[in-house]
Amino acid sequence: MKLVIFEDQSFDNFYPLTYLRPVFELRCGATLLMEKMRRLHPGAEAVYFMRAALRDTFLQRYPGARVNDLDAIRSDDCLFANGRLLLAATALPGGPSAVCMAGDQVAFARADKATLNSGAAAQAATLEDLLAVLKGLPQADLPADAHMIGYPWDLVHHNADAIRADFAAAGKRGVEGQKALQAVIYGDPERVYIAPGAEIHPLAVIDVKGGPVTIDAGAEVHPFTRIEGPTYIGKKTILFGAKVREGTSIGPMCRIGGEVEESIVHGCSNKYHDGFLGHAYVCEWVNLGALTTNSDLKNDYTNVEVYVKGQLTDTGMNKVGSFIGDHTKTSIGVLFNTGTVVGMMTNVVNTGGICPKLIPSFCLHYGKPMKGFGFKSMVDTARISMSRRKAVMTEADLELLKYAFEIAKPERDAMIKKARKG
């Protein structure tokens, strides 16, 4: 059987998080959305469908993956899974050919080889055409513990439960790394997994009374750090006297200090110093300067609105923080308002006040958006940032950055023009 994981047309609801990655490569819990799908469907060969511009960099991360290959799915029975599906502990149901709809989008579909190679399905020239045909199949239902993610804040909202599900699925418990005698596990030690190569220094506290905690391979937890479960700390991440509250996922190779609550840090990003990050999603290669802080609760406790495709959208939630794109940097003392969207590769400088709720990509933001020092300078900074993790920007990476620069151009230019007039 083939497991066909695909993006639908809602990927831009997740900008700036999805400029450089398909939606199914977003993190929720300890793993990426696509990793949960593959875990729950072992033995199925994965075939991925995404925007053409993402293909080369995706293949860098997953050499040998089948990408945008329509012919590959006609030779076998297929299970089609929308990349926005958040699966917990239940696989998508088997059985005869059927489809599950989420609004006007396919959530998942089962189609046997005969269905895929007959009638209108056999004539489909694109995956979109094929999915349109599959919409006519008998109806199926999502598992009760599955969710269709519609916006970035949904990932944060479901993160704590996803951490619990990932911990249970991994089935690993106990201390395989190093834990100093003066470090404390507060609660049931069966709710902790400290992986080989991880090191817990003296005077660190891992509180699992609210949920499980995983400290992955090669991670370091320095003195005076407190971690509250459910939490996942990724490989080779270092915590420097951090206060990590419940519902937090931190990806690989991050440097984290200060207070973090119910947030997702995708990977390879820094929040080294004091400052609060709450109910937020931070992409890769981000550096948050000392005392950078986001609000995640309005003073009147009403629902938070977030900009999606240029329009303020009611999240239906009263706790929503920031969504920060790849390669963005902040200076010391930057203050983000509740529900702020910060584009990718932007340099945000403190001016003493609270930043606006929408900051465009690829700019200098000094009280208002400006063109800054240009694309080449931004790329040079990104190369330096990546080299600090011994990573190299490839030609494919550069081409994708150029693509994202052009995609973000209309919004950026409009906001800069408006700021000049103001």
Q: Domain boundary at 150, 167, 202, which?
A: 150
Q: What is the pLDDT of residue 120?
A: 92
Tokens in use for 313?
Answer: 């959208």
- Closest Cα to residue 70, out of 129, 119, 26? 129
> For the chain, how big is the Rg over CA atoms in Å?
22
Residue spans of the chain under pLDDT 70: 422
Residues 225, 114 within the same domain:
no
Cα torsion angle, 368, 373, 378, 383, sign: negative
CATH number (domain holding residue 210)? 2.160.10.10
Q: Got the DSSP string for 197-241?
A: T-EE-TT-EEE-TTS-EEE-TT-EE-TT-EEESSEEE-TT-EESS
Q: Domain boundary at 83, 117, 150, which?
A: 150
Residues 27, 115 within the same domain:
yes
Peptide bond connecting 16 to the previous residue in cis, omega within 30 degrees of 0: yes
Residues 213, 324 within the same domain:
yes
Residues 137, 207 within the same domain:
no
Q: What is the pLDDT of residue 377?
A: 95
Name the residue range of residue 335's domain.
156-421
pTM of the shown model: 0.96
CATH number (domain holding residue 119)? 3.90.550.10
Residues 216, 352 within the same domain:
yes
Q: Domain boundary at 86, 120, 150, which?
A: 150
Residues 197, 222 within the same domain:
yes
Residues 146, 282 within the same domain:
no
Q: What is the pLDDT of residue 287?
A: 98
Residues 145, 164 within the same domain:
no
Residues 266, 244 within the same domain:
yes
Q: What is the pLDDT of residue 373?
A: 87
Using alpha carbons, list the distances in angstroms from residue 299 to 313, 337, 355.
Answer: 19, 11, 17
Residues 87, 195 within the same domain:
no
Q: What is the pLDDT of residue 421?
A: 83
Residues 40, 121 within the same domain:
yes
Q: What is the pLDDT of residue 75?
A: 87
What does the pLDDT look like over 79-108, one tens digit per residue?
999 999 999 999 999 999 999 999 999 999
Name the domain count of the chain.
2
Residues 298, 202 within the same domain:
yes
Integer Cα distance of 45 and 63 in angstroms: 14
Q: At what angle are helices 395-421 and 375-387 packed, to 10 degrees?
A: 130
